[in-house]
Amino acid sequence: MSPRTDRTHAAWLAALDELEAVAGRDPQLTADGAGVSGAGVGLGAIGTWTPPAGLGPLPAELADRAVAVAGVQRGALARLDAARKAVLAHLGAVRSVESSHEPERPVYLDATG
């Protein structure tokens, strides 16, 4: 391998490592961005990823690794979608309680006085 090919290969390995680490991270740990900034991964508070400048084309020998990382990302998206649906269900339950509340009616009955 030429020095340029070695640098491209190393840059792609680092990029794939970052993408895999982010996709495999628990969303609960990164909800406030705290789990992201301390990890040394080049991400903003909302978990965006910017590819390194001059990354170049993916080396053919890393294609299988890139496909595996894409699979990890699909799994992360599925987990996030399931969490989103659970939050929507909980929000629906909370809203139904709020809508049934009638502030004009007494909340307590004084049975002793």
Total domains, the chain: 1
Is residue 22 exposed (0-12), middle (13-18) or buried (19+ Cβ within 10 Å)? buried
User: pTM value?
Assistant: 0.60
**Domain contains 103:** no
Domain span holding position 59: 3-95
Three-state DSSP class for residue 110 = coil
**Domain contains 15:** yes
pLDDT in tens for each of the 113 residues of the chain?
A: 666 678 889 999 999 998 888 877 655 554 444 444 334 444 444 467 777 888 889 999 999 999 999 998 898 889 999 999 999 999 988 887 766 666 666 666 677 76
